[in-house]
Structure 1
Amino acid sequence: MSTQSHSLNVGITQPFPCSYLDDHQETLIMLIEPETNAQTYYPTLLANGFRRSGSQVYRPHCEHCQACQSLRIPVKIFMRSRSQKRLMNKNSVFIIKISESIGEDYFSLYQRYINKVHSDGPMFPASKKQYNEFIHSDWNKPLFIEIYDQQKLIAVSITDQLFTQQSKTWSAFYCFYDPDYQTHSLGKFAVLTQLRLAIEHQIDYLYLGYYIKTCQKMNYKTQFNPHQRFIDNEWVSFN
């Protein structure tokens, strides 16, 4: 934590079924009144294992489980693997655009992604209400990194920008893509695209959310090296 001390009001949820691990219960610490506190303190909270969902800011607080580990990539020392270089070459025909506003065509893409790729998850079936609550934030204005196949939108990476006097940070909030492009590994390609752009923008860290060793859908995050994981309130480096 920072050497300066600040008091923030937080609450703890009641246990509920874990979104990632079967037969587990999940408990969260939630920031109270994020609309007044989050914009100022989210960079520090992010660096201490918190994430956002819509306007809400939270961190897992499970009594008997420490499986969730926040993961970030030090952008300046990131090294692409051979397979990542091949993926970038394979997808080099795609067009990358950056927007500061939500596109009208995002929801249809998001809906197809959730309903086909995450039909076993808590966000299924995708609805406009759930999408709006998840994507929109009262205090945060992210970048939307769009990937196109010619004129067709095939992926969107929602990327939070967190700038302080000490660091410039990006956080990969969420990515959704066209399920018909599974062979192009658009999820991994989106992260590699974020990293390429982060280098251009002189970003210090790219946060990828939580990593859970036994959750197959999250294992890809450890393929970006070197990276750091937040374990026992400390950032631990992995190569």
Structure 2
Amino acid sequence: MRHTLPIAPQFYVTAPQACPYLDNRRERKLFTALQGEHANTLNDTLSKQGFRRSQNVLYRPSCADCSACMSARIRVADFEPTRSQRKCLRRNAVLEREATSPWATEEQYELFRRYLDSRHADGGMADMDIFEFAAMIEETPVKSRVIEYWDRSGDRPQLIATCLTDVLDDGLSMVYSFYDPDWARNSLGSYIILDHVRIAQESGLPYVYLGYWVPGSPKMGYKAGFSGLEIFRGGNWQNLSPTEDYDADTHPLSVDPIAEQVARISLPDTRAPKE
């Protein structure tokens, strides 16, 4: 049975809940289903407009009184590693990269649990069991890969880090990554991003999508340390400026009504070409 995506997919808004990035803020998301034969096309199109994927859903923050969450991506051609980033690459040179199909393993889940227990014990994923983890990895209607990083320098190979990555038509989208907390001094979060830049270079892809950058959030501040960084703001991609004040994006008047936001979303034309 063939499934086709409607010309105009339906968009919905989640109920407000506590913001994970800024204190005393409420978060809500605009989202739509990702399914059918045109899933890859919709994922490509909406990712360029600040959306992110979670299993078979595409979402974008759409808070009532704040627009601080801005999708961020690295322009690969303009990326130049800093001195500390070059050190990070050398420090982790022992790791071997393996790209696999999106299939969950016990090694991945064990690493995921250790990562959460160490760094995000009170986060929204803290209670995920192995079945929910498998769904996060495997329930993807688009072209996805699991990028694993192994240390084989000892007697027994060890899985050190993992990243679930979508392959878009213009880049790599890092959906979710986690790593061994015992390797925290190796700056593995930064290393995974740096290696994805290398993968994009090898593949001829112009961008690496990092998720959201949030001004004023310590959790997201590290993304500003990557050169060639762009943010999706006001409906356009623009260079992240080290001198511009982004505080206005946390003001209630910075948010447009939901109907206006949806009306400005560009959707792919999935109609078959005329012969």
Same fold (TM over 0.5): yes
Question: Are the equivalent residues in 1 in contact too, given 2:172–2:208 (CA < 8 A)?
Answer: yes
d(CA) in 2 for partners of 1:216, 1:24: 15
Is 1:159 the counterpart of 2:165 in the alignment?
Answer: yes
How much identity, in percent, do the aligned residues show? 34
Indicate the residue corresponding to 1:226 in structure 2.
Answer: 228
Question: Are the equivalent residues in 1 in contact too, given 2:12–2:30 (CA < 8 A)?
Answer: yes
Indicate the residue corresponding to 1:53 in structure 2.
Answer: 54
Question: Are the equivalent residues in 1 in contact too, given 2:104–2:137 (CA < 8 A)?
Answer: no
d(CA) in 1 for partners of 2:205, 2:181: 30
d(CA) in 2 for partners of 1:146, 1:53: 19
Indicate the residue corresponding to 2:34 in structure 1.
Answer: 34
Deviates more, 1:137-146 or 1:59-68: 137-146
Aligned residue pairs, count = 229
Q: 1:19 to 1:132 in 2, by over 3 A?
A: farther
Q: Which runs of structure 2 are paired with 1:1-239 in the superposition (5 Å)?
A: 7-31=8-32, 33-36=33-36, 38-104=39-105, 105-150=107-152, 151-163=157-169, 168-238=170-240
Deviates more, 1:100-109 or 1:145-154: 100-109
Shift of 1:204: 1.0
Question: Are the equivalent residues in 1 in contact too, given 2:74–2:226 (CA < 8 A)?
Answer: yes
Question: Are the equivalent residues in 2 in contact too, given 1:17–1:25 (CA < 8 A)?
Answer: yes
d(CA) in 2 for partners of 1:216, 1:135: 27
User: Does the residue aligned with 2:35 lie in a helix, a strand or coil?
Assistant: helix
Q: 1 or 2, which has the higher strand percentage? A: 1
User: Does the residue aligned with 1:35 lie in a helix, a strand or coil?
Assistant: coil
Question: Are the equivalent residues in 2 in contact too, given 1:225–1:238 (CA < 8 A)?
Answer: no
Structure 1 alignment gaps of length 5 or more: 1-5
d(CA) in 1 for partners of 2:69, 2:130: 28
Letter in 1 for 2:193: V
Q: Deviations over 1:61-101 (max 9, x none)?
A: 11210110100011122111111011111111221221124
d(CA) in 2 for partners of 1:135, 1:21: 28
TM-score, length of structure 1 as denominator length: 0.90
Letter in 1 for 2:124: P
d(CA) in 2 for partners of 1:222, 1:205: 15
Question: Are the equivalent residues in 1 in contact too, given 2:104–2:138 (CA < 8 A)?
Answer: no
4+ residue stretches of structure 1 with deviation over 3 A? none
Structure 2 alignment gaps of length 5 or more: 1-6, 242-275
Shift of 1:103: 4.5
